[in-house]
């Protein structure tokens, strides 16, 4: 019988990877809460229309990458490929407009049927923030600043570059779109098949093409900045001035775009050279047309999303595993007392493992295998005397400690302070 394997593009988060994953999520949740972003969770699957309407019928995500299926009841359902649409849907269906501006933080799995690559599997995980209901450029600055703060807290900000561009307002976007159509239409014979399909419906997406022929054409394509009206220029200037006032460095990238019509004004990406070709760490922008496109009232919004796997790969301060204490009971009576002792120490917030079975050598081997720092050894003789042997597994030093001091007069917290995280002090009386 063949050994069962995970589905291609999925993987297991084992303890070490899970610690790195959790470190990213907990750090980001704590940092963004300082900016007022409270955590929400939307369903992992939505009606397919939530994504097909918002991501566009011509996008690769909708046409090639979504995990969609029909339920037994005939509903068309899709596993979420991203979470901005889900948060926007939640904003509408829960009547959150009355509480605007609304600030949301999220973390969770996303799903895209694409070629697995470094830092991006078919099931991958993202963190993100959405600020819905604020039209001012200062909201864009605040969202970017929150992203900077997360990257700094993870210790990876210095490895990234903030790339910044503007998509202007709808009038500017329409003028730019017309110019792109005219330019690329004159070079139809050199466009890839995908770009030919995008030419009439979504020409901005041609600027994102990875096809070598398309990329050559893009080099000479019109630049968005040449089509901005005064209102759009003023908005972008306010964003840049805000970033300058916070000392947040950025590079202008006139080719940085978002292909969907509900995006406008600010778009940005934090990129890095540390992950090879997969250089985008965090990406976001303003999407003032999204809520209306989903059936809600016209409502501005801005946000960003970041891949947890990529952040975890870059983070340099992932916490180590917490070293446990291990209790080694020897004898029937000691095993019963060890159970209550372990619970009393765990109640103080410490990790305690039990070493059952086998002789003393095997139990100590188990303690070393799990990298325990302290062993509390209890035999029937020790129990009769009301003591336990506390051993530093790094230095080998040990000391008899009265049980009432372990579980009564000295709490587990004081025990850890007395013996340290890794073992006993040089002088047990200190």
Q: What is the pLDDT of residue 417?
A: 52
129, two tokens: 């923030």
32, two tokens: 């963004």
Q: What is the pLDDT of residue 278?
A: 64
Assigned fold of 15-169+229-314:
BirA Bifunctional Protein; domain 2 (3.30.930)
Q: What is the pLDDT of residues 238-279, one digit of tens each?
A: 999 999 999 999 999 988 888 677 889 999 999 998 877 668
- The mean pLDDT value for 12-30 works out to 94
1, two tokens: 């019988």
Strands 38-39, 102-111: pairing kind: parallel
Q: What is the pLDDT of residue 225?
A: 85
Rounded CA separation 156/272 (Å): 9
The region of weakest confidence among 212-221, 274-283, 299-308 is 274-283
* Closest by Cα among 153, 138, 151 to 282: 151
Residue 130 labelled as part of a binding site? yes
b/e 396-421 (16+ beta carbons within 10 angstroms → b):
eebeebebebbbeeebbeebbebbee
Residue 82 labelled as part of a binding site? yes
Q: What is the pLDDT of residues 414-425, one digit of tens each?
A: 555 545 544 444
Is residue 57 over pLDDT 80? no
Query: Between 337 and 63, whose confidence is greater?
Result: 337
Rounded CA separation 158/142 (Å): 19
Q: What is the pLDDT of residue 137?
A: 97
Q: Chain-centre distance of CA 272, in angstroms?
A: 16
Residue 83 labelled as part of a binding site? yes
Beta strands in 38-181 (DSSP E): 38-39, 45-47, 68-70, 76-79, 102-111, 123-132, 160-166
Domains 15-169+229-314 and 325-419 share a fold: no
Q: What is the pLDDT of residue 169?
A: 92
Is residue 413 over pLDDT 70? no
Q: What is the pLDDT of residues 228-241, one digit of tens each?
A: 999 999 999 999 99
* Closest by Cα among 184, 218, 187, 189 to 201: 184
Rounded CA separation 91/126 (Å): 19
Rounded CA separation 125/121 (Å): 9
The region of weakest confidence among 18-22, 88-92, 102-106, 409-413 is 409-413
The pLDDT-based confidence of 355 (bands split at 50, 70, 90) is confident
Rounded CA separation 79/51 (Å): 10
Residue 126 labelled as part of a binding site? yes
Residue 112 labelled as part of a binding site? yes
* Closest by Cα among 415, 421, 327, 419 to 367: 327
Q: Determine the angle formed by the axes of helices 170-185 and 193-201, rounding to 10 degrees.
A: 140
Is residue 37 over pLDDT 80? yes
Integer-rounded Cα Rg, in Å, for the chain is: 28
Cβ within 8 Å of residue 379, ≥6 positions away:
329, 330, 331, 334
Query: Between 3 and 209, whose confidence is greater?
Result: 3
Q: Which H helix or E strand runs over 284?
A: strand 280-286
Rounded CA separation 255/393 (Å): 59
Cα–Cα distances (Å) from 166 to 90, 93, 149, 314, 324, in that order, read 27, 30, 22, 28, 52
Task: State pTM to two decimals.
Answer: 0.86
Domains of the chain by residue range: 15-169+229-314, 325-419
Residue 84 labelled as part of a binding site? yes
Residue 138 labelled as part of a binding site? no
The pLDDT-based confidence of 123 (bands split at 50, 70, 90) is very high
Is residue 62 over pLDDT 80? no
The pLDDT-based confidence of 189 (bands split at 50, 70, 90) is confident
Could you identify the residue written with the tokens 């947040």?
248
Query: Between 139 and 389, whose confidence is greater?
Result: 139
The region of weakest confidence among 4-8, 185-189, 274-278 is 274-278
Q: What is the pLDDT of residues 143-165, one digit of tens each?
A: 999 999 999 999 999 999 999 99
The region of weakest confidence among 31-35, 242-246, 284-288, 334-338 is 334-338
Rounded CA separation 85/210 (Å): 25
Beta strands in 287-402 (DSSP E): 301-307, 325-330, 352-354, 374-379, 387-392, 398-402
Angle at the Cα of 181 from the Cα atoms of 178 and 183, rounded to 5 degrees: 110
Assigned fold of 325-419:
Rossmann fold (3.40.50)
Rounded CA separation 168/257 (Å): 11
- Residue 311, CB-side half-sphere exposure with 13 Å CA sphere: 33
Is residue 18 over pLDDT 80? yes
């Amino acid at each position: 019988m063949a050994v069962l394997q995970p589905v291609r593009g999925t993987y297991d988060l084992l303890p070490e990877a899970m610690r790195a994953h959790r470190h990213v999520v907990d750090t980001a949740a704590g940092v963004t809460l300082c900016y007022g972003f409270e955590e929400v969770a939307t369903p992992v699957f939505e009606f397919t229309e939530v994504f097909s309407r918002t991501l566009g019928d011509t996008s690769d995500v909708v046409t090639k990458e979504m995990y969609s299926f029909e339920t037994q009841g005939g509903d068309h359902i899709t596993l979420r490929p991203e979470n901005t649409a889900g948060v926007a849907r939640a904003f509408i269906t829960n009547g959150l407009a009355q509480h605007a501006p609304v600030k949301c933080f999220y973390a969770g799995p996303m799903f895209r049927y694409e070629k697995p690559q470094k830092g991006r599997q078919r099931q991958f995980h993202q963190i993100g923030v959405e600020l819905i209901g604020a039209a001012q450029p200062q909201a864009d600055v605040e969202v970017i600043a929150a992203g900077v703060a997360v990257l700094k807290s993870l210790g990876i900000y210095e490895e990234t570059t903030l790339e910044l561009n503007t998509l202007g307002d709808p009038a500017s976007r329409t003028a730019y779109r017309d110019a792109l159509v005219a330019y690329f239409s004159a070079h139809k014979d050199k466009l890839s098949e995908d770009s030919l399909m995008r030419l009439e419906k979504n020409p901005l997406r041609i600027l994102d093409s990875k096809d070598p022929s398309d990329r050559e054409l893009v080099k000479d394509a019109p630049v968005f900045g040449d089509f901005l009206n005064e209102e759009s220029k003023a908005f972008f200037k306010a964003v840049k001035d805000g970033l300058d006032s916070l000392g947040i460095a950025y590079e202008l990238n006139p080719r940085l775009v978002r292909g969907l019509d509900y995006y406008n004004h600010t778009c940005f990406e934090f990129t890095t050279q540390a992950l090879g070709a997969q250089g985008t760490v965090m990406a976001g922008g303003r999407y003032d047309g999204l809520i209306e496109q989903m059936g809600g009232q016209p409502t501005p919004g801005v946000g960003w999303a970041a891949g947890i796997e990529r952040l975890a790969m870059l983070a340099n301060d992932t916490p180590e595993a917490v070293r446990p204490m291990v209790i080694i009971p020897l004898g029937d009576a000691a095993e019963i007392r060890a159970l209550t002792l372990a619970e009393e120490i765990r109640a103080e917030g410490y990790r305690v493992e039990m070493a059952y079975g086998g002789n003393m050598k095997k139990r100590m081997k188990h303690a070393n295998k799990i990298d325990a720092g302290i062993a509390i050894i209890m035999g029937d003789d020790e129990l009769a005397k009301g003591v336990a042997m506390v051993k530093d597994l790094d230095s080998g030093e040990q000391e008899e400690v009265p049980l009432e001091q372990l579980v009564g007069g000295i709490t587990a917290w004081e025990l850890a302070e007395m013996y340290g995280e890794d073992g006993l002090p040089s002088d047990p009386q200190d």
